[in-house]
Structure 1
Amino acid sequence: MQDPVNSLCPSTVSRAEWGARTPAAEPQPLVVSPVPYVVVHHGGTKKYCYDQNTCSAIVRSYQNYHIDTKGWNDIGYSFVIGEDGHVYEGRGWDFVGAHAPGYNTQSIGICVIGDFSDRLPNEEALTALSDLISCGVDIGKIGEGYHVIGHRQTRDTLCPGDTFYKWVKALPQWTDHPVPLTQSQLIRQLDKTFGVAVVAR
């Protein structure tokens, strides 16, 4: 398990530690950094975990589903959190996810393992979520003026579950009117980040 470099950063179970497969293709770097959005998800099935071995097995099942059934290159989330209080590395801070249409290139996607339609994640998971977001801001991966949104705000889905979504909506950083960056804004960010001129076509 990786030790956090910063005191705000929770310990993270690396891809190697949870037994990740090699991605089906090279990951795409995030153009927008720091990102303006954090998208919160739940696993959507009543499979819960309270120890690293069980959580790792569930994270592997997510990756297998995303690669083998969805046809994606890798697990879709940036990070996954278990009710063991651990953060599991998905695509990480620096690569585009596959979790929220319209926001993948400008957000960090965090999934909490389980179905939270009728209850909240436990205190350990919620603390890990809050600490992970604070860590992202502290190390410059999430913008200081970031917004938090639920997955259901980006597409027709019940994710992250009604009870969990009420908790998300109570966060001061939540917005009910998320607006993703436009193509021209993304192009300007690409020029700023990589120092290259891009012509829109």
Structure 2
Amino acid sequence: MMEKPQIIKKELNMNLNFMSDLKREDIKFLIIHHTGVSLDQRVETINNFHKNDRGWAGIGYHFYIRQNGSIYRGRPITKQGVHTSSVNSKSLAVCLAGNFNSNKPEEFPDQKEALIDLLAWLSHEFPNTTLEKNREFNNTSCPGDNFNIHQIREEVESRINEKKDLPNISRRINGKFDGEDFKGTAYLIESRVYIPVRVLEDYFDVTVSWNRETQEFQIDKR
């Protein structure tokens, strides 16, 4: 059983009766956002802005994570969010405080760790979902040019595997590449080393893509 992270529930002033229902079986995406401002805003501030300035029924996100790693519940997961116009009816939204056009998630390790924990739990609760960025659906930079969705997906998968009690697994191991310290995350599973594809892309200056229709991968030189 995947352990649920601690989620703080504030008494936010929301008009739940004006929110459309969201059916569990319709949820296909877990979508990541950022606030786009450097301030570490309170969840009440986001709720009041969405409600009073934008005229929504309440905060548009289902979860909100501050830079200290505190996770807050936004609108209920039984209600549609207001965050990604084309897929609000089939997604849950997780928003990070901060601007990842100017900062990197690694600068706020507690927040990033909380994000991994939350996404791992949500992925377990909604196993048919995929992790996506807001910008995959809308014309926006959200959640920022410095937000590496591939790395987040790999860390979430690793966290899920950890909870499955796989034997002899270490989430992070050190190593060298061509005599230099290996800058990236590698995994040790039953004495075999696994290196994420996205990390190797940088070392070999290639791009690895996946064709969902043919179910084949392709490696191209940059």
Residue 23 of structure 1: aligned partner:
15
TM-score by length of 2: 0.63
**1:22-76: CA deviation from partner (whole Å, max 9, x where unpaired):** 326443221243621011000111102xxxxxx5xx2112111111121111100
Unaligned ranges ≥5, structure 2: 158-208, 213-222
Bigger RCO (CA 8 Å, 6+ sep): 1
TM-score by length of 1: 0.69
Number of residues paired by the alignment?
156
1:169 match: 150
Q: Which string of whole-angstrom CA distances, capped at 9 and with x for unpartnered residues, describes residues 147-199 of structure 1?
A: 111111121111101101xx2133258x9999xxxxxxxxxxxxxxxxxxxxx
Q: Is the 8 A contact 1:32 1:105 kept in 2?
A: no
**1:120 maps to what in 2?**
104
Counterpart Cα distance in 2 of 1:32 and 1:10? 20
Q: Secondary structure at the match of 1:163?
A: coil
Cα root mean square deviation, aligned = 2.5
Q: Give the aligned partner of residue 192 of structure 1.
A: none
Q: Structure 1 CA distance, aligned partners of 2:210 and 2:56?
A: 29
Distance in 2 separating the partners of 1:106 and 1:94? 11
1:43 and 2:43 equivalent? no
For 1:93-151, what per-residue CA distance to the aligned partner results, in whole angstroms no more than 9, with x for missing partners? 2211000011111111000001111322312111111111222233x3x2x24211111
Q: Distance in 2 between the 1:9 and 1:176 partners?
A: 31
Amino acid at match of 1:95: K
Match of 2:60 among 55, 60, 76: 76
Structure 1 equivalent of residue 195 of structure 2: none
**Alpha-carbon offset, residue 82 of structure 1:** 0.8
Indicate the residue corresponding to 1:193 in structure 2.
none
Name the structure 1 match of 2:216: none
State the percentage of identical aligned residues.
Answer: 24
In structure 1, the residue matched to 2:219 is none
Which residue in the other structure is 1:11 paired with?
6
User: C-alpha separation between the residues in 2 aligned to 1:147 and 1:117?
Assistant: 23
Output the CA distance in 1 between the equivalents of 2:146 and 2:26.
Answer: 29
Hey, which bits of structure 1, 4+ residues long, moved more than 4 A? 175-178
Judge conservation of contact 2:24–2:78 (CA < 8 Å) in 1. no
Name the aligned partner's letter for residue 151 of structure 1: N
In our comparison, the structure showing a higher alpha carbon Rg is 2
Between Structure 1 and Structure 2, which shows a larger proportion of strand residues?
Answer: 2
